[in-house]
Amino acid sequence: MEIKEIHEANRNIHRLLDNARVNEAFSALDPLIQTNNDWAMREQIEQLRISYQFMLKYMQQGIDDPKRNDVYNDIVNKLYTITDGVTLSLLEPVSNEIIATRRRELKDTTLSSIVEKQKSEINKFSLLTSVPETQHDAQAIATVIKQREIHETAIFNKVWSSFPMNADDATLITSLIADEDYPTHSKCLITSALFLGMMCYYDERKLQLLMDIYTSATSVQVQLRALISVLLAVKVHQERVVKSVALVPHTKAMIDEPHFTDDMAIIQFQLARSRNTENISRRVKEELMPDIMKLNPNILKIRDDITEIADLEANPEWQEMLENSGIAKKMEELNELQLEGSDVFISTFSRLKTFPFFQTLSNWFLPFHENCSAIHGEFAGDEAPLLMVVTKAPFLCNSDRYSFALSLSSMPFSQRQLLLNQVKAQVEQVGEMQKTELPDDKQERERQANMYVQDLYRFFKLFSRRREFMAAFDCDMDFTQLPLIGDAAISSSTITLVAEFYLKNEFYNDALKYYGYLLDNTQDANPLIYQKMGFCYQSLRKTDDAIEYYRRYELADDNNLWTLRHLAACYRENKEYDKAIEYYKKIEAAKPDNVANIINMGHCRLEQGDIEEAMKIYFKADLMDESNHRARRPVAWCSFLLGNDERSLAYYDRIIDDDKPTAQDYLNRGHVLLAMKKSPEAIDSYRQALKLMNGNVNELRKAMLNDGEALQSRGIAIADLPLLIDAITL
């Protein structure tokens, strides 16, 4: 069979099983089994077929079987597994996919044999480093480190590419996780390998192992990796998990762990926050960096008279430029996001994932440690502070730390020395601060969870062959309905935290889902939830739903000006102008000096077609707002619509003289002059509008046609507009 045919057959059988068409799945599986020519697999299929037929006969005879559902789910799960197993067997000799390549390489190698070789190198490393540092054989140590890493990589590849995982390998992995002498970074790699395998094919034993690792591991880093992996794997494979009886005791043991509830809250928030990473990256690329590039080039380089980074930061000219350009505000916002734990560095470090180090799959999951061969010995002696800078960098995940270290190691010696001189004092200060800090278990768990989520995000978004794995970060990150762990995974505080995050970052549909969950599952829910749901619906332009929830909040607080303003805006959006004005009047009663509110009332009357009433309201606003002149434009436009061209022109002239005129201001002024039969002056004004539109004639044409009804009401023929536009562009 061709590779494409094998994959299509696999997808077809999965679709049949997903839709409970089991007999058809048996028939579709037969050709794959025959092509594979595996007698053991063929025997499994026959046993399952017989079991399924007996179950159907019992049902046909009306025999009540309380375990029928469990038996059915077991048969279906085994069919899924056999389907995936035969698919891999057929792909293994012919496919260039990573999983097939690794299976070919390690086909005749057992996991236990690789572990023995790795442990041998670990023992050699311990012996070589047990003598005083001055007697270390650097070359021998480097050789042992490289050999050890070869075996670590092989273990990683064997674990993730094995399918289905056998009982002996599972027992070995359990013993390695429990072994206090086995390196923590190796335990982390094995945990990640189990998860990576799940992102190719669902393997119940691997999921059981991940659950058990969370309950048995003594390292916080390993525990959090396991739980994050469980949560994502169950999310991706929930249709399979829900059919599993064997997972129940493992799940229960995991839920009974003392840290489980707090860990779930931390992880859910970190995974929800990962959805904002692309938005932050886009802001850095499209907003911050282009603005920085527009600055004076002389400020963008460190000049000869600046010897310290602090000098640049203190430069008043630089600071003034940042403030005036708006960059300072954007940098402050990004700094706040960074302090909150948001991933602000992915756009920076994505360009540093081209080092050969990242061509090895396992290195994307490797915890940062100084005995990694890629950086071992690069920052020895006087340059040790540089390594400490990387190791202690509080906001960098493991993947980015390796990028940072590799980037530093590739610098010319002179640049490294310059950087070293600049950071020495800071490193010493950080070291002193860390000595005085008390251990904080919760903070450490949050840090480890955040780092690993970012490591995973980089792999699934940046690894060159990421499309060969399921996209773990493309799902909605809603964990409230997960099978087996759904109820245990949620708390009102976690749901509230995630909902607030989604609201703040404009994921309105997700925020609605979480707020709705709070309303359905919380007694005496805070009425503010109604207000926030109203805002989400309004932001999604679902004004009827927004009104419903704002009105619910209004029952709890009928004088909240924020709610009144938004209700008025929704009614206006719905063209229910009388109701909108009713709410604007409520606001006016509470805040009679609110000019914006009065102008909005005028807008409602204007949109109703009551131009004269709108004019009276705009005049009132204009008298109240002598300093800001916010009512000038509506007064000018209404004057034009009512035929008072002299007054309209006078207002537009004031706007152009006193305010910052827009293209629309010049366009409207042109309309007035056209109505006054002053065509040359009108064309000059239109040309000013076109200039502010950057010469975009199509934009001008669209704007003039949008005003067609108003122009027609003043006796200007719509048919003349194309001629007029051509005259403007002469």
pLDDT in tens, 339-391: 565 676 787 788 889 999 999 999 999 999 989 999 887 777 667 777 877 88
State the first-to-last Cα distance of the chain, in angstroms, to the nearest integer: 68
For the chain, how many structural domains are there in total? 2
pLDDT at 583 over 80: yes
* Burial (CB count within 10 angstroms: exposed 0-12, middle 13-18, buried 19+), residue 518: middle
The domain that holds 701 is classified in CATH as 1.25.40.10
Residue 215 lies in a domain: no
pLDDT at 713 over 50: yes
How many Cα neighbours within 13 Å face the side chain of 329? Answer: 5
Give the pLDDT score at 322. 45
Residues contacting 642, CB < 8 A, separation 6+ = 611, 612, 615
* Burial (CB count within 10 angstroms: exposed 0-12, middle 13-18, buried 19+), residue 628: exposed
Give the pLDDT score at 296. 43
Residue 169 lies in a domain: no
Q: Look at residues 68, 95, 122 and tell me which one is the last residue of a structural domain.
A: 95
Give the pLDDT score at 429. 62
Residue 505 lies in a domain: no
Give the pLDDT score at 38. 84
pLDDT at 316 over 60: no
Residue 694: give the domain boundaries: 522-728
Give the pLDDT score at 292. 46
Q: What is the mean pLDDT of the chain?
A: 88
Residue 707 lies in a domain: yes
pLDDT band at residue 437, thresholds of 50, 70 and 90? low
Residue 434 lies in a domain: no
Residue 632 lies in a domain: yes
DSSP string over 676-726: TT-HHHHHHHHHHHHHHTTT-HHHHHHHHHHTHHHHHHTT--GGGHHHHHH
pLDDT at 273 over 80: yes
pLDDT in tens, 377-429: 777 766 777 787 788 777 789 999 999 889 888 888 777 777 766 666 655 66
pTM of the model: 0.83
Rounded mean pLDDT, 541-545 = 97
pLDDT in tens, 627-648: 888 899 999 999 999 999 999 9
Give the pLDDT score at 301. 37
pLDDT at 67 over 90: no
Q: Which has more confidence, 594 or 410? A: 594
Residue 531 lies in a domain: yes
pLDDT at 315 over 50: no
Give the pLDDT score at 427. 59
Give the pLDDT score at 515. 95
In angstroms, the CA 233 to CA 215 distance is 17
Cβ proximity of 559 and 551 under 8 Å: no
Rounded mean pLDDT, 468-484 = 90
Residue 584 lies in a domain: yes
Q: Look at residues 74, 95, 116 and tell me which one is the last residue of a structural domain.
A: 95
pLDDT in tens, 128-150: 999 998 898 989 999 999 999 99
* E strand or H helix that includes residue 637: helix 632-641
**In the chain, pLDDT over 90 holds for what percent of residues?**
69
Lowest mean per-residue pLDDT among 242-251, 426-435, 576-585, 664-673: 426-435
pLDDT at 302 over 50: no
pLDDT at 438 over 70: no
Q: Which has more confidence, 556 or 525? A: 556
R_g over Cα of the chain: 34
Q: Look at residues 80, 95, 110 and tell me which one is the last residue of a structural domain.
A: 95
* Burial (CB count within 10 angstroms: exposed 0-12, middle 13-18, buried 19+), residue 270: buried
Give the pLDDT score at 539. 97
Rounded mean pLDDT, 19-41 = 93
